[in-house]
Amino acid sequence: MKRRGVVIFVVLIAVVAMAAGLTAMLAGVRGQSESVRAIVARQEHRLAARSAAYAIAAEIYQQRDLAGRLPELGETEDVLRYEDAPAWQWKLDMTDDGQAIEPFAARLDVNHVSDSVLTEFLESNDLDADHVLGQRPIRSLGMIRHAIGQSDGDDQSTLLTISSSDPQLRTGAGGQAGFAGNARVVPGSNDMAPGSLSTEATTLYERISSGDLMPTARSEVLVQLQQRAVPPEDWDVLLDAFDLNDGKPDFGLVDLSHAPAKVLSALPGIDDDLAESLVDHRESLTTDDLAGLSWPVRDGILSVTEYASVIDMLSPRSVQFGVRFSVILRYDDLDDETNQRTHSRELRYEMVVDLSGDRPRVGYLRDVTYLPWQVHKQQTTTEDTEEEPMLASDELQTERPAEMDRERATTEPAAVSVTQWGRFGTGGAI
């Protein structure tokens, strides 16, 4: 009898052990299943974000030959994609001033602008110029924040970018005579002057086109326009017409049509008051005026001599644009394995569209959903420990510790393509 009781007891223990093991195994399987589901959901978000980025880039590219004004993006709430069961939607995130798109040439290019201009900007904003200059080339937008650190008041990193290129294509200044999007004329090519130009402008155009006069910078053309008494209405065409850079893109030019006063005041010969005057005055200009570079002189804000020192650092357009958008992913799930529920998750992305080539390119795509929370957490930690703040790194997986990003920045080679906007590109041109 006792032996039977012992056997039964052992069997019960074995059953309990097997049940516990089975429960643990099921819990593990369920945990693995949830992990896989989370990975799949994140991958769906990434794919949706890239699809939205390509759609935005394509829409901007249709308006690439603009100068003086920004491309317009349509309302995107009606753009819905269905793939199997999940449904996802993307929408633009408007800024406080109602803008959905930002011209990146309105910022200062930390990698290509002159040392003197960048130093002037940084020191005027109480930032360590020597430290930032020593970090170049900076490879991503987030690394700008690492380089400048935190500053009092406004975040100055929003006024800086890592690459801003302007191809040797006409902006369209001067209306039909500007031939928007066509390649600029190479001095010495004997191209014909537009028929709508005045006699004085035609003479100067033909001298440069024939190679009789070989300017090496727009500032030289500007001086010639004044000396030869070319009518002011023809100045924009002449300033926009010629390729003075051997067909190579110009890097680091500042968008005169959209740059804020803080950026313009870093340029030589432009102080804070003059920068404010330029910003205030352009509010009253037409799109045709903003498409050219001559209006600061024509409207008496700067003399030819003053403007000649800065005109070669300016452009009337941007070719790289920043956009922020959200992706909403909807999916069905089971609540307590009985009731089906529809969930939705919204993630925010920051992207840069590069239009300098023959096709639009999504050069930078970054998940910024948790960036405000991360920055707040890091600032709080900094206040407690009195250490240098650590900011979110530039990648789609925003959970990655910023310390790893900083370590990587010091160990990897710094040489990168000048059009590379970040370590996590989305596959290049469309």
**Lowest mean per-residue pLDDT among 225-229, 246-250, 320-324, 366-370:** 366-370
Long-range contacts of 203-208 (CB under 8 A, 24+ apart): 203/228, 204/228, 204/230, 204/238, 205/238, 205/241, 208/242
pLDDT digits (tens, 9 = 90+) for 153-208: 457 888 999 989 999 999 888 877 777 888 899 999 999 888 889 999 999 999 99
For residue 137, is the peptide bond before it cis, meaning its omega torsion is within 30 degrees of 0?
yes
Alpha-carbon distance of 49 to 325, in angstroms, equals 9
Residue 75 has pLDDT above 50, yes or no: yes
Stretch 302-322: mean pLDDT? 94
The structural domains of the chain, with segments of one domain joined by +, span 34-99+320-429, 105-166+251-315, 175-241
- Confidence class of residue 338 from pLDDT cuts 50, 70 and 90? low
Tell me what the pLDDT averaged over the chain comes to: 78
pLDDT value of residue 402: 36
pLDDT digits (tens, 9 = 90+) for 346-386: 888 989 999 888 889 988 888 888 776 544 444 444 444 33
SS3 at position 87: strand
- Cβ-based neighbour number of residue 348 at 10 Å: 17
Stretch 85-113: mean pLDDT? 82
* Helix spans in 325-400 (H): 371-385
Name the percent of the chain in helix, strand, coil, to the closest 5.
45, 15, 40
pTM over 0.85: no
Alpha-carbon distance of 346 to 351, in angstroms, equals 16
Stretch 110-119: mean pLDDT? 94
Residue 85 has pLDDT above 60, yes or no: no
